[in-house]
Amino acid sequence: MSYTMKNIILSASVSILLLSGCRQKKMEENATAFSMSDTMLAKCGFYKAANEEVKNEIRLFGKLEADNNKTAQVFSVVGGLVTSIKVGLGDYVKQGQVLATIQSSEVARYEQERLDALSEVAIAEKKLQVEQELFAGKLNAEKDVKVAEAEMEKAKANLAKIKEIYNIYKFKKGSVFPVAAPISGFVITKKINVNELLRPDEDEPLFSIANTNEIWAVAYVNESNISQVKENYDVTVNTLAFPENPYKGKIDKIYNVIDANTKSMKFRVRIANHDFKLKPDMNCTVSVRYSENKEMIAVPSSAVIFDKNKYWVMIFKDRNNIETRQVTIYRQLGETTYIQSGLAEGENVISQNGLLIYDAIND
């Protein structure tokens, strides 16, 4: 290499060092000259850096399901002709609401039995009254009164049994059987049509109803990642339908069985769904946060500024003493950023509107 070329390289290196020194000196001078106003101070947020458990995240695919403890299948207890259907698939129904009506000879038979039981009670009461009057006039024996009392109790017991059947199955007068909703929720299956003739031994439900004010996100974790999933771990559930609305929750249950075909294990997360936006069978992603079993300085991600291909934080000592500090990032995980170097525990950083201060000091 020629002497002239060496001089050029040396001169360039010196110039870079001088520019870097001037830049650092300018930042220090600006930091010294800068004073935060009361208005700016009120707009800023502050956070004291502290050691926190380092967490990572694994993203898994899953599906939303109705809570099987809050679902009901609706069968008909009688055979007959479907005369009307009051609801459709996806409708919200209240407990006790009539879903369909069935014209049934079995209901007519129960109605006749109810009328017969009422008649028997009336006859038994009249007979008991007569026996009691005869006994008062010494025209019969006490045993005749006892027999009449027993017959009346038997008739009342038979009527009570029939009334209980009416109460359980919601029978009405006549021959019409109203199929009623056992719980409040959404109709998720419907397998019944008007004028359809039902057998009394139908093995498929006419309707299925699910109460979805709480819903399950069921996800599948590969065998190689099972150690990263434990009960009570924090998760975030995202759906394709509402990507802007993440749902927070915790792993509620792990099904400790490996699927032989997929080599995966499933777990569930309970999600509040009071607005009923989430529907069973929606696809979702479940992001699970797990511990790396170590600690590191952590600050809110809003405290970290990316500029000139480097990461910076604003160290706040007082309104007249604010330092622009370069840091090395280990990981940004949502609202938390883990700092590998450049920041010590207990130092106060500007966590809100720090960019305004950064621009004011360093521009």
Amino acid at 360: A
Mean pLDDT score across all residues of the chain: 88
Tokens in use for 163? 């009334």
For CA atoms 17, 19, 22, 23, give the dihedral sign. negative
CA-based R_g, the chain, Å: 39
pLDDT per residue over 140-187, tens digit each?
888 989 999 999 999 999 999 988 988 877 787 778 889 999 999 999
Please give the torsion angle defined by the CA atoms of residues 142, 145, 149 and 150, in that order, rounded to the nearest 10 degrees: 70
DSSP letters spanning 243-296: TT--EEEEEEEE-----TTT-EEEEEEEEE-TT----TT-EEEEEEEEEEEEEE
CA angle 115, 125, 136 (to 5 degrees): 170
Nearest C-alpha neighbor of 70 from the set 167, 202, 215: 215
Nearest C-alpha neighbor of 96 from the set 210, 178, 182, 209: 182
Distance separating alpha carbons of residues 71 and 126, to the nearest angstrom: 49
Q: What is the pLDDT along the chain (363 residues), one digit of tens a residue?
A: 444 444 444 444 444 444 444 445 444 444 446 788 888 899 999 999 999 999 999 999 999 999 988 999 999 888 999 999 999 999 999 999 999 999 998 888 888 888 999 999 999 999 999 999 898 888 888 898 999 999 999 999 999 998 898 887 778 777 888 999 999 999 999 999 999 999 877 889 999 999 999 999 999 999 989 989 999 999 999 999 999 999 999 999 999 999 888 889 999 999 999 999 999 999 999 999 999 999 999 999 999 999 999 999 999 999 899 999 999 999 999 899 999 999 999 999 999 999 999 998 887
Domains parsed from the chain with CATH numbers:
58-68+213-292 (2.40.30.170), 74-210 (2.40.50.100)
With beta carbons less than 8 A apart as the criterion, state whether 34 and 169 touch: no
With beta carbons less than 8 A apart as the criterion, state whether 275 and 266 touch: no
Given this model, what pLDDT does residue 33 score? Answer: 67
Distance separating alpha carbons of residues 350 and 97, to the nearest angstrom: 58
Given this model, what pLDDT does residue 6 score? Answer: 46
Nearest C-alpha neighbor of 358 from the set 3, 31, 2, 24: 31
With beta carbons less than 8 A apart as the criterion, state whether 98 and 74 touch: no
Find the farthest-apart pair of alpha carbons in the chain and give their distance in angstroms, rounded.
149
Distance separating alpha carbons of residues 188 and 212, to the nearest angstrom: 10
Q: Edge-to-edge strands of the sheet including 71-74?
A: 71-74, 207-210, 185-190, 92-93
Query: Beta strands 207-210 and 185-190: pairing type?
Result: antiparallel
With beta carbons less than 8 A apart as the criterion, state whether 131 and 148 touch: yes
